[in-house]
């Protein structure tokens, strides 16, 4: 897959899946805006890319704030001239707690970051793609297997990830004629800071989680990154409005 000279904007690219995706796009020839609320880890991603010979820019951005997302997209376009791909990946895992113990603050924070971040991210990415001389582009929103199935002890997270799929399908239909393809990806447990937090909630948790996955292992960030590149590639021009399960076979049964 080649993305030579394409401009890619990735939220949450300071860690885990977002960082692996940023590295994979730059290896495939793209220039990448690394958008993250965490400046230290975001700049580390840029450093890793530059040391590997790639081109990347850090843009500070809290995705829950529409003003910050707009400014981050503008800064990307001011630096690189256009936008071809948007990856709305930033997310939080929230409290691991029963439905009745979840608090209004946790619920609202989850919706602000995991749903608001994708909604505002897509709004500003699509506005930019429509304004360009060659309209078109690709967007991938990072949902989860918890966006397909219920997740005991994670009601706000599961609700937020179901919402991501609704936003994805709707935007895909609205902008299909302008050749903007919009898809979601639904990873199962994938090694990252977020999953380490979950593993550490109880002894034996990692093994119990692993046993749920038919392929017998967690995903690696690069497994998800390669699927995201495939979703965005020009060779994949007939695929839009879908939620791709990257789950080691979990939802096949
Ligand atoms: N790791 C998994 O098992 C798994 C499974 C399914 C879905 N996901 C989803 O994948 C995405 C990436 O998660 P990850 O596992 O790489 O986690 P991670 O914690 O390693 O990375 C998340 C990144 O998002 C950034 N971020 C968090 N809140 C932000 C905000 N408000 N604004 C901007 N940046 C923000 C963090 O600073 C961090 O760099 C998330 O949307 C997550 O829900 C992860």
Q: Is residue 201 part of a domain?
A: no
The model's pLDDT over 74-100, given as tens digits with 9 standing for 90+, comes to 999 999 999 999 999 999 999 999 999
Q: Rounded to the nearest whole angstrom, what is the distance from the C-alpha of residue 220 to the centroid of ligand 1?
A: 14
Q: Is residue 55 part of a domain?
A: yes
Q: Are 163 and 115 in contact (CB under 8 A)?
A: yes
Cα separations in angstroms, 241 against 113, 119, 179: 22, 15, 12
Tell me what pLDDT residue 198 has. Answer: 85
Q: Is residue 207 part of a domain?
A: no
Tell me what pLDDT residue 253 has. Answer: 87
Tell me what pLDDT residue 56 has. Answer: 98
Q: Among the atoms of ligand 1, which is closest to the Cα of residue 193?
A: 20
Q: Are 252 and 193 in contact (CB under 8 A)?
A: no
Grade residue 38 by pLDDT with cuts at 50, 70 and 90: very high
C-alpha closest to that of 28 among 85, 104, 99: 85
Residue 41 near ligand 1, beta carbon < 6 Å? yes
pLDDT at 238 over 90: yes
pLDDT at 1 over 90: no
Q: Is residue 251 part of a domain?
A: no
User: Mean pLDDT across the stretch 211-228?
Assistant: 97
Q: Are 50 and 56 in contact (CB under 8 A)?
A: yes
Residue 194 near ligand 1, beta carbon < 6 Å? yes
Q: Among the atoms of ligand 1, which is closest to the Cα of residue 145?
A: 6
Q: Rounded to the nearest whole angstrom, what is the distance from the C-alpha of residue 49 to the centroid of ligand 1?
A: 19
Q: Which residues contact 245 (CB under 8 A, 6 or more apart)?
A: 145, 148, 186, 251
Q: Is residue 168 part of a domain?
A: yes
Q: Are 60 and 36 in contact (CB under 8 A)?
A: yes
pLDDT at 241 over 90: yes
| Rounded-to-integer distance, Cα 121 and Cα 157, Å | 19
Residue 88 near ligand 1, beta carbon < 6 Å? no
Residue 243 near ligand 1, beta carbon < 6 Å? no
Q: Rounded to the nearest whole angstrom, what is the distance from the C-alpha of residue 36 to the centroid of ligand 1?
A: 10
Q: Is residue 205 part of a domain?
A: no
Tell me what pLDDT residue 197 has. Answer: 85
The model's pLDDT over 167-189, given as tens digits with 9 standing for 90+, comes to 999 999 999 999 999 999 999 99
Residue 91 near ligand 1, beta carbon < 6 Å? yes
User: Mean pLDDT across the stretch 109-132?
Assistant: 98
Using the structure block, give the residue that is written with the tokens 């690069």: 222
Q: Which of 80, 120, 157, 189 is catalytic?
A: 157
**Cα diameter, the chain:** 55
Report how many domains make up the chain: 1
Residue 141 near ligand 1, beta carbon < 6 Å? no
Q: Which domain holds residue 11?
A: 7-192+220-244
Q: Rounded to the nearest whole angstrom, what is the distance from the C-alpha of residue 64 to the centroid of ligand 1?
A: 13
pLDDT at 163 over 90: yes
HSE value, Cβ hemisphere, 13 Å, CA-based, for 104: 0
Residue 80 catalytic?
no
CB burial of 182-212 (b: ≥16 within 10 Å; e: otherwise) equals bbbbbbbbbbbebbeebbeeeeeebeeeeee
Q: Is residue 128 part of a domain?
A: yes
| Rounded-to-integer distance, Cα 67 and Cα 70, Å | 5
Q: Is residue 208 part of a domain?
A: no
Tell me what pLDDT residue 48 has. Answer: 98
Instruction: Calculate the average pLDDT of the chain.
Output: 97
Would you tell me how many other CB atoms lie within 10 Å of the CB of residue 84?
23
Q: Rounded to the nearest whole angstrom, what is the distance from the C-alpha of residue 250 to the centroid of ligand 1?
A: 21
Tell me what pLDDT residue 138 has. Answer: 98
Tell me what pLDDT residue 134 has. Answer: 83
Q: Are 50 and 85 in contact (CB under 8 A)?
A: no
What CATH number should be reported for the domain holding residue 234?
3.40.50.720
Percent of the chain with pLDDT over 70: 100
What is residue 183's DSSP assignment?
Answer: E
The model's pLDDT over 55-71, given as tens digits with 9 standing for 90+, comes to 999 999 999 999 999 99
């Amino acid at each position: 897959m080649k993305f030579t000279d394409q401009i890619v904007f990735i939220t949450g690219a300071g860690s885990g899946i977002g960082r692996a995706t940023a590295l994979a796009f730059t290896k495939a020839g793209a220039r990448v805006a690394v958008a993250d609320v965490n400046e230290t880890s975001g700049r580390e991603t840029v450093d890793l890319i530059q040391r590997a010979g790639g081109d990347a820019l850090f843009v500070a951005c809290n995705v829950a704030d529409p003003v910050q997302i707009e400014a981050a997209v503008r800064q990307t376009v001011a630096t690189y001239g256009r936008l071809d791909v948007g990856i709305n990946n930033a997310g939080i895992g929230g409290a691991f707690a029963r439905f009745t113990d979840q608090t209004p603050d946790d619920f609202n924070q989850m919706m602000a970051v995991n749903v608001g971040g994708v909604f505002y991210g897509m709004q500003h990415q699509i506005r930019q793609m429509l304004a360009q001389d060659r309209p078109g582009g690709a967007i991938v929103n990072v949902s989860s297997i918890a966006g397909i199935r219920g997740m005991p002890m994670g009601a706000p997270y599961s609700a937020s990830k179901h919402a991501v799929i609704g936003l994805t399908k709707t935007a895909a239909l609205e902008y299909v004629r302008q050749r903007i393809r919009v898809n979601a990806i639904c990873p199962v447990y994938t090694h990252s800071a977020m999953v380490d937090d979950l593993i550490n909630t109880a002894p034996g948790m990692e093994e119990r989680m692993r046993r749920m996955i038919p392929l017998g292992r967690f995903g690696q960030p690069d497994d998800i990154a390669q699927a995201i590149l495939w979703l965005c590639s020009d060779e994949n021009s007939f695929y839009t409005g879908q939620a791709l399960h990257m789950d080691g076979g979990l939802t096949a049964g």
